[in-house]
Amino acid sequence: MSAKNPEYDFKWCPGCGDFGVRRAIEFAMQEWTVSKEVPAERNVVVAGIGCSGNLVHLLEGPQPYGFHGIHGRTLPIALGVKMGRPDLNVMVVAGDGDFLSIGMEHIAPQAARNLNVCAVIMDNGVYGLTKGQSSPTTNLGAVTSSTPYGKAEQALNPLDFYLSIGVSFIAGGFSGKPKDLAKLIVAGMEHPGFSIVHVQSPCTTYNDTFEILKGNPKKGLQPMMWDIPANHDASNREAAYKAANSGGWPIGILYKNTDRPSLDQQIDKLNQKVKPKSVQQLLDSYAI
Amino acid sequence: MDKQDLIVRFAGEGGQGVVTSAEGLAQAASQVGYHVLTYATFPSQILGGPTWTQTRVSTSPVLSTGDDLDVLVAFNKEGYDAHISELRKGGVVIYNSAEFQLPDDGRSFGMTVDEMAKSTGNTRAANMVIIGAIAHLVDMPQEYLEQFVTKRFTRGREGDKEIIESNIKALGLGRQAAAGTQFKLQRLPDPKTPEGKQILVRGNEAISLGALAAGLNFYVGYPISPATTILVWMERNLVGKDRFVYQVSSEIEAITAILGAGFAGKKAMTATAGPGFSLMSEGLGLGWMAEIPIVVVDVQRGGPATGLPTKTEQSDLFKCLHPAHGDVALPVIAPGSVEECFYAAVTALNWAERYQGPVILMNEMAMAERAQNIPAPDLSKLKVENRKVYKGSNGYMRYEASTASPMPIPGGPGAYVANGSEHDAIGDTTHLPQRHIHMTERRFNKLKLLHDGSFESDNSRESIVIMPWGGTKGPALEAYHQLRAEGVPIGWNYTMFLHPLPPALLEELRKKELVIVPELNFQGMWSSILRSHGVKAESITQYTGLPFKVRDLVSRVKQKIQSKQRMVRV
């Protein structure tokens, strides 16, 4: 939606982290289309269901194609788009509930396939659109509308999880710094394989973590976010595990493996070995 | 009068050659110009388990598997015990005497099948021993069989000659063994070779071939009986440039991946069975809502839940007509023969492209695995449709029109959001009542583009008709011919286009006193749908996991007609 659409009746709450992610994606798309000299319509944004998925309707500037599907299924939809048309740039936008709860079953297969799409995950640790239930990244013991006496399961560490299943590009981001985030998203899009940019994007209504993430010197609160140092070796899996498990929220590229072919490259390779038969030849093979 | 057909059942344990014998007989007979049809039912396990197959050979096109057996080939005692009651009077049993013995009962003779095959130097020729024995019983000339063996095993490989010789030897051994007994069936008349080229295919293969002929270029699937054969066929054949085939990790991945591909401009399909089809519900609703051309094949098996994975049933009809929540009614095509499977697949892809949405293609276990000779489709006469693609400038109102409108394809102009939420003309989410009215009506209006389905109508003056659907067509048509021959006043209607129904057919059906619907489910699903259309329809149901017998249909149709007439008299 490039101009204001009076019929479109969805709004993010004031201060929502997703505004920053939208800005970052707009920056990244702009840079991508200019540097790669591709028109906007060669990009496809596959959106999940939840507050974050509405991003696809709110992008400003030249419009990419969008697919606003059903809850939890962004990745297999993206699989269809990308493998149907490997020439397109495919991006996934989803929240922690959509991606890590109902959509969890689709992450590992795409990691194994090294599907060449970039997933930008907006993590606010809560189900916002359904008004504040616990999500996989909600902390143990947290009180929400669906955990009135405290959450009984521990929070998922998404970065550690992505590493364990073999996602080939993993970055941590923060919605409050759209320009920095845009660089991570561009790096994810450029990565020839499955990339996830997992963004802390706080919910100002149900789980406002801005202060926790940024810290508050006045209250003596140390920031939870920390920048991955320049000397971090992103090709080193052990170093990535260490960073993912050292507490707080790392910002930057945690892990990157460019040795693996992507699924479309792999299929191209296999196709070189086989000679397709025409429909007539196939019919003839059943001739009596 | 000479006997016009030959019905042979093979019964034993999986791995004993039950399937290869039935298919071998079908191949041999079709090779020399007979019409053939096979039927197979499997246990849901990899090795062993009771299995049986049936082959019917005839001088005219075969409609059903046949009720009464001319020959029972029993590979073990269990196979004999389970099937002997279906041997007709005067029929013959051939049994594997290495496995068990039968008394001299005037209708059975044993052969040590494997030993005889071994003596030819080719242990895999056991089915040829059996076919040779059957050929003797019906006086099928040896030259026919040798002709078949030579053609079948001339594969340009080293050792072809030895294999051909050993198979011919095996045929001769079987023939000799049978000739050494007093048993004889009526001579099978010489074949009347069908005009034009013929192919011998199974239902699922015909669907796969039809889909490719209609331009399919994207297929993903997940293994499930009895749809797996489509997946493995595609994995082998849907290869090459601009095509993609893949085994994905669930039916949910399958349906959503083909939606992504259909959105990106591909002709995309998946195939599944009941349990997988249930998992696809939400995705099918998305396809209807976002208006994405896709085809989903549901190869029915016995249900619900895991049900009867390797048996046949027609019980997914309600589910296929209304697979998703909300106001949805998807187009449904249910072919009634192996030949129709090919053309149904072509139409399914054409319909999906034309109305821009999901089309359901229903098959069923018995037809999926049935091999039958059919006229080879003439590809030059096929009409293949492609969706109208938007070619204007950006800022296009993709969902504005009140029926199907040109579809923008990523990479081209007219970027929009394909949206599963109710949306406005450009695809943005909205909740306005007038929009929901507009879009709901647009989606249903598009179905009017699919009113071109063909249908069959015979003896249309009759006020009582039989109208089967899907794979029940074969036995129902055979029953109809018998009923007419007996002078029963009954007409015939049939279509594979269950939704939308051809309007002229519906008009015809509404005028009938009674529409009798034989179908393989408990609830009488198709008659229930017809009644909702204002048709006086009643079902004849069966839910055994097996297809109808013609004999049963004939007597049950008569009962229906009689009870109707009694009511009229009262």
Decide if B377 and A283 are in contact by the 8 Å CB cutoff.
Answer: yes
pLDDT band at B194 (very low <50, low <70, confident <90, very high): confident
- Chain A hits for B250, CB-CB cut-off 8 Å, are 105
Q: Which of A42, A56, A267 sits opposite B244 (nearest CB)?
A: A267
Q: Which of A46, A57, A276 sits opposite B240 (nearest CB)?
A: A276
The answer to whether residues B24 and B147 belong to one domain is: yes
Decide if A282 and B376 are in contact by the 8 Å CB cutoff.
Answer: no
Nearest CA in chain A to B151: A288
Domain tally, chain B: 3
Whether residue A38 lies within 8 A of chain B, CB to CB, comes out as no
Per DSSP (E only), the strands in B190-276 are 198-202, 218-221, 244-247, 268-272
Query: Does B465 reside within a domain?
Result: yes
Return the pLDDT at B1.
Answer: 45
The answer to whether residues B141 and B219 belong to one domain is: no
The predicted-structure confidence for B489-503, as pLDDT tens digits, reads as follows 999 999 999 999 999
Contact B493, B564 (CB under 8 A): no
The predicted-structure confidence for A165-224, as pLDDT tens digits, reads as follows 999 999 999 999 999 999 999 999 999 999 999 999 999 999 999 999 999 999 999 999
Decide if B30 and A267 are in contact by the 8 Å CB cutoff.
Answer: no
The answer to whether residues B223 and B294 belong to one domain is: yes
Average pLDDT over residues B472-479: 98
Nearest CA in chain A to B233: A282
Three-state helix/strand/coil letters over chain A: CCCCCCCCCCCCCCCCHHHHHHHHHHHHHHHHHHHCCCCHHHEEEEECCCCHHHHHHHCCCCCCEEEECCCCCHHHHHHHHHHHCCCCEEEEEEEHHHHHHHCHHHHHHHHHHCCCCEEEEEECCEECCCCCEECCCCCCCCCECCECCCCCCCCCCHHHHHHHCCCCEEEEEECCCHHHHHHHHHHHHHCCCCEEEEEECCECCCECCHHHHHCEHHHCECCCEEECCCCCCCCCHHHHHHHHCCCCEEEEEEEECCCCCCHHHHHHHHHHHCCCCCHHHHHHCCEC
Q: pLDDT exceeding 70 applies to what percent of chain A?
A: 99
Provide the chain A residues 98-127 that lie in CB contact (below 8 A) with chain B.
105-106, 109
Average pLDDT over residues B22-49: 88
Could you tell me the CATH superfamily of domain A17-261?
Thiamin diphosphate (ThDP)-binding fold, Pyr/PP domains (3.40.50.970)
The answer to whether residues B247 and B377 belong to one domain is: yes
In this structure, of A48-62, A90-104, B39-53, B374-388, the range with the lowest mean pLDDT score is B39-53
Average pLDDT over residues B185-209: 93
**Is it the case that residue B42 has pLDDT exceeding 80?**
no
Average pLDDT over residues B273-298: 98
List the strands of the sheet with A65-68, edge to edge.
Answer: A225-227, A249-256, A169-174, A195-200, A118-123, A89-95, A43-47, A65-68, B417-419
**Is it the case that residue B329 has pLDDT exceeding 90?**
yes
The predicted-structure confidence for A125-176, as pLDDT tens digits, reads as follows 999 999 999 999 999 999 999 999 999 999 999 999 999 999 999 999 999 9
Return the pLDDT at B46.
Answer: 74
The predicted-structure confidence for B219-229, as pLDDT tens digits, reads as follows 999 999 999 99
Q: What is the CATH classification number for the domain harbouring B115?
A: 3.40.920.10
Decide if B31 and A288 are in contact by the 8 Å CB cutoff.
Answer: yes
Average pLDDT over residues B281-291: 98
Give the C-alpha separation, A269 to B272, whole Å: 28
Q: What is the CATH classification number for the domain harbouring B300?
A: 3.40.50.970
Query: Does B426 reside within a domain?
Result: no
- CB proximity list for B62: less than 8 A, separation 6 or greater: B5, B35, B36, B37, B56, B372
Return the pLDDT at B9.
Answer: 97
Whether residue A179 lies within 8 A of chain B, CB to CB, comes out as no
The answer to whether residues B139 and B75 belong to one domain is: yes
B222, two tokens: 């997940």
Provide the chain A residues 195-254 that lie in CB contact (below 8 A) with chain B.
none
In this structure, of A249-253, B242-246, B391-395, the range with the lowest mean pLDDT score is B391-395
Rounded to a whole number of angstroms, the distance from the CA of B300 to the nearest CA of chain A is 25
Contact A170, A254 (CB under 8 A): yes
Query: Does B415 reside within a domain?
Result: no
Nearest CA in chain A to B207: A283
User: Of B381, B401, B419, which residue sits at a domain end?
Assistant: B381
Return the pLDDT at A1.
Answer: 59
Return the pLDDT at B223.
Answer: 98
Query: What phi and psi values does residue B91 have, to the nearest 5 degrees?
Result: -75, 170
pLDDT band at B27 (very low <50, low <70, confident <90, very high): very high
Q: At how many degrees (to 10) do helices B251-263 and B281-290 cross?
A: 10
Nearest CA in chain B to A109: B249
Decide if B424 and A78 are in contact by the 8 Å CB cutoff.
Answer: no
Residue predicted with more confidence, B146 or B507: B507
- CB proximity list for B186: less than 8 A, separation 6 or greater: B2, B3, B138
The answer to whether residues B138 and B213 belong to one domain is: no
Return the pLDDT at A3.
Answer: 62
Decide if A80 and B430 are in contact by the 8 Å CB cutoff.
Answer: no
The answer to whether residues B250 and B370 belong to one domain is: yes
Q: What is the CATH classification number for the domain harbouring B505?
A: 3.40.50.920
Mean pLDDT over each residue of chain A, to the nearest integer: 96
Nearest CA in chain A to B263: A81
* A88, A279, A284, A285, best to mutate vs chain B, most B CBs in 10 Å: A279
pTM of the model: 0.96
The answer to whether residues B124 and B271 belong to one domain is: no
The answer to whether residues B212 and B351 belong to one domain is: yes
User: Of B381, B404, B429, which residue sits at a domain end?
Assistant: B381
- Give the domain range for residue B231: 200-381
pLDDT band at B47 (very low <50, low <70, confident <90, very high): confident
Decide if B248 and A63 are in contact by the 8 Å CB cutoff.
Answer: no
pLDDT band at B2 (very low <50, low <70, confident <90, very high): low
Decide if B417 and A57 are in contact by the 8 Å CB cutoff.
Answer: yes
Decide if A69 and B256 are in contact by the 8 Å CB cutoff.
Answer: yes
The answer to whether residues B102 and B140 belong to one domain is: yes
Q: Which residue has the tokens 């997933």?
A: A119
The answer to whether residues B224 and B121 belong to one domain is: no
Rounded to a whole number of angstroms, the distance from the CA of B280 to the nearest CA of chain A is 12
Whether residue A80 lies within 8 A of chain B, CB to CB, comes out as yes
pLDDT band at A7 (very low <50, low <70, confident <90, very high): confident
Query: Does B303 reside within a domain?
Result: yes
Query: Does B236 reside within a domain?
Result: yes
- Chain B hits for A282, CB-CB cut-off 8 Å, are 209, 212, 237
The predicted-structure confidence for B117-156, as pLDDT tens digits, reads as follows 999 999 999 999 999 999 999 999 888 889 889 988 888 8
**Is it the case that residue A2 has pLDDT exceeding 60?**
no
Query: Does B228 reside within a domain?
Result: yes
User: Of B341, B366, B381, which residue sits at a domain end?
Assistant: B381
**Is it the case that residue B570 has pLDDT exceeding 70?**
no
Contact B391, B413 (CB under 8 A): yes
Rounded to a whole number of angstroms, the distance from the CA of A90 to the nearest CA of chain B is 10
